[in-house]
A and B are shown apart, each in its own frame.
Chain A
């Protein structure tokens, strides 16, 4: 590693991009959150009043709570299923492995809006899933109405989309576990299960953590699935969705730069 200003020069364009396009609007937003911003015009300085109002709003807490639950549940499912997939694919060879990878990745590749819409249709009371349920003799289940089932649907769709991502990261991690470590363990008499648990898993800590953090943030901020997907009051569930719905649809209201 050299001490050199050249490094700064190389890094400069990227930093410039990020500051101009991401950081400055962020600062601007935070700055604005301390003011009374009716109709997008600067008003009086309010200090923390906006924040206080937001926190006092019980619905924000409600949606925050639900968002947290949905985020973590979706995350957990993605990681677990992703890991299963990764292990399975790792044990397959060549074309099969390749084919499987593609299939697992497909949901990730579809845009949020499209994916959520498709599932919404499938879950619909008129849709194929209910039809199958009917055919097998069960009554109609309005998945999206039931306040207990609807979050599950939301979690399912989110997890569905992100399993691929988790799988990819974990698979990459698996492939980088040095073969000699595994062989050594096997020579020492460890069976399959132990090899997995004791050798591979600890080394997977990094990819799992990375995937978790990224998916956590992505799920938390995910507006499209909640808004376009389930009902009722879906946009209330998601914190960012609420911010979005406040800023876009409830114009006369204040423009809270929500701490969410």
Chain B
């Protein structure tokens, strides 16, 4: 029976090995609800102190769900780790456990976990999903925790379009981090060559400039386009339509949450966007299926002189570009009449506290810490993020004047003066896809602009449950 014995032993060994590996793997990561971290590893979720502390103070562990991994190597993640380390040093009784999630599951998982009473203490949630979470009662207001102790000055320091986002009945439920501004990214060397000045006052100025920039690059033979856009319905960014429409009519939605796109202003805005492809030729036809990723990749490869892009992506563009990254800059959207700039959609991740958390005070302390002046500086200098506080912007004026950091100033100004925060009182997710679909319907499907916009409105309204 020798061969069978061997097999037997082999199977048992296999099983034991597997079990050991798995169990060991999870142990070194620390246990879940114990108040001190366990041994091993120099990971972020271990505080340096175990067993010391102030006498009998209760040790608390709080969980945070975000898409950032403190052990990661990108700038944002490094900044987060430093902030967490600082927090642990200042608060030896509180341990912050970060559980990184796949970013597009954060909203769903949070709501599901809220149902099963197992949600984390702190959650990062997109502005799209924030409204749902709030309406669902899944978030706690900050006033009851730490905000009541803030002075008027401190509040003024953070008061902007983001601050009022999600403010319900005068109470605040989130701070917005990883702030993003959609604007026009451009290569300043190419524009300087042609003597083009930014910012553009009117759309016509923009188009004229883009025409000049659409040419074949003499050194590489690559066909370059003046203005890159992306109309795919996958993970879309707002394109020309929203700023143009908002400038004309003030809002994209009606008071009761319906889409308001097929107005005259809307038709004009869509024409403006699509004429760049059809008439002026400054945007290639491939825009119809380009995702923003494709557009960024093409920009990096030198195929666009300008494009619609997000501020948070600029560091990546700067490091990955096949040309000198420091020439990547950002500017505002022009307007129809040239009197101001068109408001652009602002975005970010709302950081909130779960209403079912057992450690709200501790969670509140950490959330407050995330936006204190010291952390804000770290977000800016280490993480390359646009600052939350006006005081940080002032203090770091020199830092922000460096050529590769100037876009942060543009973003900050955009947040303050030319920003549009999407509504949270009613569900709005999917609006960008709907608008891109309208663009596709016109360019590929041959519909006229009004019909396409009406169909997009319908899709949006049905999805949001508005008839």
Contacts and interface: CB of A to CB of B under 8 A. Distances in A.
Contacts, number: 81
A233 interface: yes
Nearest to A146: B289
A40 B117 CA distance: 13
Contacts of A252: 132, 427, 429, 463-465
Nearest to B116: A40
Contacts of B232: 231-232
Interface in B429-453: 429-430, 437, 440, 444
Interface in B214-243: 231-234
B115 A41 contact: yes
Interface centre among A39, A236, A248, A253 (most CB of B within 10 A): A39
A142 interface: yes
Interface in B107-165: 107-108, 111-112, 115, 129, 132, 136
Interface in A204-260: 227, 231-236, 247-254
Interface stretch (B70-78, B294-302, B346-354): B294-302
Given A41-B115, A253-B465, A232 B105 contact: no
Q: Give the size range of B's interface with the partner.
A: 35 or more
A39 B297 contact: no
B388 to A, nearest CB: 26
Contacts of A57: 462
Given A232-B234, A251-B107, A39 B286 contact: no
Contact of A234 (B231, B234, B298, B444): B234
A147 interface: yes
A81 interface: no
B289 A232 contact: yes
B446 to A, nearest CB: 12
Contact of B105 (A227, A233, A248): A248
A125 interface: yes
Nearest to A38: B465
B298 A251 contact: no
What are the 9 tightest A-B residue pairs by CB atom distance, in nearest-first order? A252-B427, A145-B289, A142-B286, A231-B232, A232-B289, A231-B289, A248-B108, A39-B136, A251-B132
16 contacts: A126-B303, A142-B289, A145-B286, A145-B288, A227-B234, A232-B233, A233-B234, A234-B234, A247-B108, A248-B108, A249-B429, A250-B429, A251-B107, A251-B129, A251-B132, A252-B463
Interface of B: 104-105, 107-108, 111-112, 115, 129, 132, 136, 231-234, 285-286, 288-291, 294, 297-298, 301, 303, 427, 429-430, 437, 440, 444, 462-465
